Chains A and B, each alone.
Chain A
Amino acid sequence: MIRVNGEFRQRARLDKNFNAGQCFNCGTCTALCPVGMAILPRQLFRYVLLGAEEKIVEYSDSIYSCLLCRMCEENCPEGVLIAENIRALRRYLVEDVYHI
């Protein structure tokens, strides 16, 4: 179960670089991703938008599996900057979760 948390994005300083709010859930990115994980990237971004912190940490492997190949980004019909968003998530993990 996910407890929706609308403030998460702001708290995690993900609101400026993270434009996955633009996503309208077509599934193009997931279908094109060469890594082929079910969670990448649409579902992952949903967890961010819903504020499901635990899920993001749970799937941190996936966040790092992204090749940043931009296959998804080139084809996203809403112009979501997917690679940048993944990198923003990586920053979040590094600074706010793992405190590296």
Chain B
Amino acid sequence: MTEKKIGAFICRCGGNISDYVDVEQVRKEIAREDNVTVAGINMFSCSDASQEDMIANIRENGLDGIVIASCSPKLHLNTFRAMAERAGLNPYQYIQVNIREQCSWAHTHNKDAATRKAVSLVREGVAKAKLSEPLTPIELTAQPSVMVIGAGLAGMRAALALGEMGVTVYLVEAAPEPGGSIKGRKSLFPDNSSGHELVESLLERIRANGNIVLYTSAEILEKTGSVGNFTIRIQVDGKNETTLSVGAVIVSTGSGSYRPTDGEFGFGLSCVLTLNQYIDMLDSSTDTFLLNGRKIRNIAYIYCVGSRRTGKEGNRYCSRYCCSAAVHTAVRTHEVDPSIGQFHFYRDIRTYGAYEELYHEALKKGSVFLKYGLKDPPQVTEVSGSGLRIRAKDLLTGAETVELETDLVVLVTGMVPGENSQLIDILKLPVGKEGFFNEIHPKLRPVETVMDGIYIAGACQGPKTLSESVVSGMAAVAKSASLVLTGKVNLDPFVARVLTEKCTGCGECISSCPYGAISMKETPDGTVVEITESLCKGEGACVAICNEEALEIKGYGHNMIKAMIEALGG
């Protein structure tokens, strides 16, 4: 091991550190450490002036390792890595020691002890710097193509956006025709657009775009590879197989619809329909709108069927789109036949944002809204010969019992996760507790999954309205485009490494890896394991499990950790 020449800089942080830690003392003690060539103090390490000073120091003294004892790495890790790089050092040989949040700010009333702790922490950092190695980010080339699975409106729009950017897109749809759940719809909220027309116009643009290939009646069979280089085998029409190479995958498989159980609010009786079934009925009606040949007098809508349930039945979550869909349907119904009385039994009306205007319109067009509580839901019974009867406690009329004779009961049901067990298995898609696909973080990374390069969009991530699905599809486009347009993927170098001389090939580590990054390899010297760096996240379970200490994370080697612990304690 070559003799390292390390520079250690203690930051005053304008008093934030130096008021509580004797930085001069720390500097003196660190200067005495082996391999510390330069030990200095900065007022503000992050300031441009201090950075330039440190760079000059590095160059003049030929330093090959640098430790800065200052604030949390969350603030300036990248700043100082960039500074190290400007000075000609490998950025990963810059070591940050946090003596602010983890020392001076935590021990404001004991300068002696805080100083001693700071000295220990910096020693630990120096020990780490001594054993640090130059690392380079893992750079992979990315295929300039994306697979979009699911050609509903979100998937179609996403495919089109990518195609228009010059990216090759494979749009894969399981059904015989694209368009998803809205393709047959005559009038979608909020602006009454025709689902059929929307699908057709997008399809026209997709066909005109030479970059997009559409596969229908297609099934995903297998996926191998990782971000930037996925190899996916699909089967079309049950017979023709194709293998496609893509850099990223967008999953936009949509959702299903809740099916009420028999007897749930009268489901199973004739004239009790789900909202989707009723909309089908509206869509297929021609001149006169009749139910079983008769004019409709009243329609009753019951909201939150199968949604917002706390018990074992139904789903816990709110399905977001249904209130808006239901009130819009009521407006449509009124346009078709203004004489129909429409009564809505709801728990909360969730026509959020601009959808509130749909609610106003429904009210204006004569719909009456009654509120029921979860504990006392409406009862639907059949009245022989004349239709259905609903009995409910209207919380808006002092919980008075109301009884309504109606020809039709519409159960406003929500979205449920689609049937995708095979796809989930093949792509290792993370699934949340409700069964929808899981994003990494709803605010920071709403369309990304823990499988790098695989994005989720639309209702498969959670119930959404149509425009929200398209928005989420476009957000997935933005993320996947940044991968394929730059043609490169840069991954942090902190991945696992096998010390092959110690590896016995027992394979215990393979099952510990949630990302499938470890596999067996035959070598002339015996069987050992090998790491697929592009899949490894540097999580470390394999490191812990290995009895032989044959695995370590780059940048956090065993020797280094041991040296750090010794330096801390000593």
Contacts and interface: CB of A to CB of B under 8 A. Distances in A.
Tell whether any CB of A sits under 8 Å from a CB of B in the complex. Answer: yes
Interface of A: 1-4, 6-7, 19, 21-25, 43, 46-47, 49-50, 78
11 contacts: A1-B400, A2-B403, A6-B368, A22-B363, A24-B349, A24-B359, A24-B369, A43-B397, A47-B397, A50-B397, A50-B402
By CB atoms of chain A within 10 A, which of B360, B401, B402 has the most?
A: B402
A2 B401 contact: yes
Given A6-B297, A7-B341, A78-B360, A21 B366 contact: yes
Given A6-B297, A6-B341, A1 B363 contact: no
A23 B370 CA distance: 12
B364 A22 contact: yes
* 5 closest Cβ pairs, A-B complex: A6-B341, A4-B404, A2-B402, A1-B401, A49-B368
Interface string B296-318: 01100000000000000000000
A7 B297 CA distance: 9
B371 interface: yes
A19 B364 CA distance: 8
B400 A25 contact: no
A24 B362 CA distance: 11
Interface string B382-416: 00000000000010111011111100000000000
Contacts of B368: 4, 6, 21, 49-50
B359 A4 contact: no
A23 to B, nearest CB: 7
B343 interface: yes
B397 A46 contact: yes
Contact of A3 (B359, B360, B403): B403
Interface of B: 297-298, 341, 343, 349, 359-360, 363-364, 366-371, 394, 396-398, 400-405
B341 A21 contact: no
A50 to B, nearest CB: 6
Nearest to B371: A25
B403 A4 contact: yes
Contacts of B349: 24
B299 to A, nearest CB: 10
B369 A1 contact: no
Contacts of A19: 364
A12 to B, nearest CB: 14
A2 B363 contact: no
A50 B94 CA distance: 74
B371 A6 contact: no
A67 to B, nearest CB: 24
A23 B363 contact: yes
B323 to A, nearest CB: 12
B363 A24 contact: yes
A22 B360 contact: yes
A6 B363 contact: no
A50 B298 CA distance: 12
B369 A25 contact: yes
B330 to A, nearest CB: 12
A1 B360 contact: no
Contacts of A22: 360, 363-364
Nearest to B356: A24
Contacts of B404: 3-4
Contacts of B400: 1-2
Nearest to B367: A21
A22 B360 CA distance: 7
Nearest to B351: A24
A43 B368 CA distance: 13
Contact of B298 (A6, A24, A46): A6
B343 A1 contact: no
